[in-house]
Amino acid sequence: MSVTVVRPYLVPLVPFYAAGVFARNWFFDKGLLRSTRLSVPVISVGNLDAGGAGKTPFVEFLARRLTLRGRKVAIVSRGYRRSTSGMVVVSNGSVICAEAPASGDEPAQMAAKLSGVRVVVDEVRSRGAQYAVSKLGADVIVLDDGFQHRYLRRDIDIVIVPADRVADAGWMLPAGNRREPLDSLERATLVAVSRCESMEHFQAAKQALAGWTKKPVIGLTTKISAVRRATTGFSVDLAGLRGKTAMAFSGIGDPASFERTLSALGVELKSHTVFPDHHHFEVSELQAIEDSLKAHTADYLLTTEKDVVRLSSAGGERKLFLERTPSFYIEIEQQIIDGESVLNDVLDRI
């Protein structure tokens, strides 16, 4: 999602929003608003914009990296668009304790994928983090989408910036999608440039960032790890997808990035039905997709991992939709293309 103006009629409100952001950060910087410090290290992963930036794949990557270092990791999120409030333990590190409606789609996805990692959602992140430490035995907290959440003090602040948005000065909310100006990167410990398509792409983004911050910068690229059947999880041969026909649907923050992923598969994409981020699908919407699939006679119906999480956990007709159709999801992972030693140096501090 671009951070350029998408709601021009709201431009007059931007100065008021920007003033509020500035005042809030000033109060934290001066200690007038207090942050809770935990007894264990806290690593925040966040971004500057509303909408997808690749945070979730990086949080998963970071949790695996820390687990391999012998740490007892807990991911703490607010659980966006969940049906509950308060604290919910999604995974205690051994078993899944909540489904997507109660936890939010991304926490449910992470809990299912990350063996041994605790996942807690709570709109009061400090409360959820303290519970993860005192009751679940976590010795490091990864705060998901935490850059603007300054009530919990962090030891490492990692900000994700998509490579194609670095040069976009953009408009702040509510006219655009930027939560904070680029100069807020000075609060970061480390900047991670996501969705780099090549080393040249990363270097261009890194050079553009040099005008805004002198903090260390690493480069990330998104790789397809598997294409899995939505109902069974079995993986298909990626090479065998080339030349096949497909339709797609998604409800994510950056549908253009999903289309680039589909292009990398080499499938002939007949259509892509786009819904809002974290969309709860109506049965009528799914029926329209199924009718279109029959009309186009595509080989595959492709979607994202978190869309499947929402549909599977909803049950009823939504789950039956996945069973009736050739629905597959794209499983992705982050890889570092530059800055491996930089990230290791940062993690060595905790």
More confident residue, 80 or 65: 65
8-222+335-347 and 223-333 have identical folds = yes
Q: Tell me, what's the pLDDT at 7?
A: 83
Confidence of residue 169 (pLDDT cuts 50, 70, 90): low
Query: Looking at the domain 8-222+335-347, which fold is it?
Result: Rossmann fold (3.40.50)
Give domain limits for the chain.
8-222+335-347, 223-333
- Residue linked to tokens 């480069």: 219
Q: What is the pLDDT of residues 15-69, one digit of tens each?
A: 999 999 999 999 999 999 999 999 999 999 999 988 778 899 999 999 999 999 9
Span 223-333: which CATH code?
3.40.50
β-pairing, 300-304 vs 245-250, is parallel
H/E stretch holding 22: helix 14-29
What is the C-alpha to C-alpha distance for residues 217 and 215, in angstroms, rounded to an integer?
6
pTM of the model: 0.90
What is the C-alpha to C-alpha distance for residues 293 and 230, in angstroms, rounded to an integer?
16
What is the C-alpha to C-alpha distance for residues 136 and 144, in angstroms, rounded to an integer?
18
